[in-house]
Each structure stands twice: as C-alpha cells, then as structure tokens.
Amino acid sequence: MKPHLIMLGSCLLAMVASAGYTDAPPISGYQFMEPETRQLQDDDFLNPAMFLVEKGATLWGQEWTDGGATCQSCHQNIATDMAGVAAGYPRTDPVSGRMVSLEMKVISEIAGRLGAAAPAYGSEDLLALTALIGFQSRGLPMNVAVTPESAPWIETGREIFTTRRGQLNLSCANCHQDHWGEKLRGDTISQGQINAFPIYRLTWSDFGSRQRMFTWCMESIRAEPYDYGSDEYLALETFLAVRGAGLAIETPGVRR
C-alpha cells in the first residue's frame, strides 16, 4: 500500500474503534462545506453545474432521430410536468413494473419512446437531462415511497451500506453514520446524503452522478466498485433516498 493509504487506513481504524452507532436526523452535505463552496452552489451564475441544466434544456427540445419527437413533444411544460418528479426516484416504473433510478427512466424514455441510441451511464447527455429534471425539484423534500416493491431494495441497500469491504475493511456507515462531522484529508465527512446530485465536484474538476460518488468512495477504501446501473447501486440509492427523506433537493449541487 502507498504510505498515504496506510496513514488513512490506520487513522480510520482508530476512528472506527471508538465508534458508536448513531442514527441522526438527516443533514445535507451542504452544511459541511466551506462558505466559499456553498456560495458557488447558491449563485446560479457562479454554479458550474448550471451548465448541465442548460445543456439539459437544449437536449429536451432536440430531435433524437431525424424528424422524430423531442422530450418536449410529449412533456410540454417541463416546469409543471417534471415538478417534484426527481424527488420521488428511485421508484416503481409504471411501464416496466420494476424499480428504476431517474437515470434508468431517462435512458428508457430515449431508447423506448424515442427509438434513439441510449446515452451511457455517466455520459454528459444523461447527466444533463437528470440535472434538468432534478432542477425542477429544487427545494422540494426527497420523498421516495416505502412500498412492497421498494422495501426489499431498501433492505438490500442498508445491508450494502453497513457491510465492511475493501483493503481498509470499512463500511459506508463507518464514515457516514459513525464519523460525520470529522475531518479526513481536508474533507469534512458528511452523512453521505444524495440530495444534491448530479453535482460539480471541485476535486474532480468534473460533474458526477450519485453512482460516480459511490464508486469514488469505494475506490478510496480500495474496494471493488459495483457497475454503473447495477442492482447494488440501485439498492444503495433507494436506501439512501429513504434514509435522507425530507432533505431538500439541491440539484445541481457543488461539492468540494
């Protein structure tokens, strides 16, 4: 292992050894950021992630096949048609009957209803459309429903969240449940909430989805990340959405 990892590992193990398990009320990652980073998110003119919302608006009105429909052909008024929608994802899809994330839903709209090539997970097009749709829920509380369909996903997500993994043998909960508010290599560990995504992350100099963040965290504890779009990540998203129920959507967020 590289020296900085060993240091990170031993420092975390010491933290974990002293851990109590606290189930605190949800707090947004925004509250743990420096004032300068908050300002970037607060000001739509400075917020780098507003680029995604603007790009999303262009895609919304664009033909996906020659002479074909646009999103807008069916969803005429995005502000009213998509108000509050993102706050309820993941949810059971009325068409397929299975749990879907917002990304999965947008992919199926493009591939299914528009007959166009589906954008890849993590592609700028998908980030842009999910940011645009998420933006229509800004300020509204996350409210993923606990239903007979979502309940097993929530349970699986909770299990993934609390299972130790990787070379550092840490679970998501070890950091985001037991040690939020503490410093780790210049970051203040937050509760690992998902209410701001997609985000612009300054340390990446790039945009990212919820699932990109999960992958970053898994890699930083030297664990094998799950695939984008996997059932495991869907379960994590569903669990985290319910765990953070009531937090206001901040999309598009800015994080350190």
Query: Smaller CB distance to ligand HEC: residue 51 or 69?
Result: 69
CA atoms within 13 A on the CB side of 93: 15
Q: Is 187 in the site for ligand HEC (CB under 6 A)?
A: yes
Q: Which residue is nearest to ligand HEC (CB)?
A: 29
Rounded least distance, CB 44 to ligand HEC, Å: 19
Among residue numbers 38 through 57, which ones bind ligand HEC (CB under 6 A)?
none
Contacts 24+ apart (CB under 8 A), 201-210: 201/254, 201/255, 201/256, 202/37, 202/254, 202/255, 202/256, 203/256, 207/49, 207/52, 207/124, 207/127, 207/131, 208/122, 208/127, 209/103, 209/121, 209/122, 209/126, 209/127, 209/130, 210/101, 210/237, 210/240
Among 104, 106, 234, 241, binds ligand HEC (CB under 6 A): 106
Is 11 labeled as catalytic in the residue annotation?
no
Among 144, 154, 175, 235, binds ligand HEC (CB under 6 A): 175
Q: Is 194 in the site for ligand HEC (CB under 6 A)?
A: yes
Query: Smaller CB distance to ligand HEC: residue 184 or 248?
Result: 184
- The SS3 assignment for 178 reads coil
The two structure tokens encoding residue 114: 């528009």
Neighbour count for residue 253 (Cβ, 10 Å)? 27
Rounded least distance, CB 91 to ligand HEC, Å: 6
Question: Shortest CA distance to 254 belongs to which of 217, 206, 219, 191?
Answer: 206
Q: Is 192 in the site for ligand HEC (CB under 6 A)?
A: yes
User: How far is the C-alpha of 120 from the C-alpha of 229, rounded, in Å?
Assistant: 10
In angstroms, how far is CA 150 from the centroid of its own chain? 17
Rounded least distance, CB 70 to ligand HEC, Å: 7
Q: Is 118 in the site for ligand HEC (CB under 6 A)?
A: no
User: How far is the C-alpha of 254 from the C-alpha of 233, rounded, in Å?
Assistant: 22
Q: Is 213 in the site for ligand HEC (CB under 6 A)?
A: yes
The two structure tokens encoding residue 196: 């701001």
Among 184, 202, 245, 248, binds ligand HEC (CB under 6 A): 184
Rounded least distance, CB 175 to ligand HEC, Å: 3
Of these residues, 11, 74, 175, 217, which one is catalytic?
A: 217
């229509």: which residue's tokens? 136
The two structure tokens encoding residue 117: 């090539």
Q: Is 236 in the site for ligand HEC (CB under 6 A)?
A: yes
What are the catalytic residues? 217
What residue ranges bind ligand HEC (CB under 6 A)? 12, 29, 69, 71, 73-75, 85, 94-95, 105-106, 109-110, 113-114, 129, 133, 170, 172, 174-176, 184, 187, 189-190, 192-194, 196, 199, 213-214, 217-218, 220-221, 236, 255
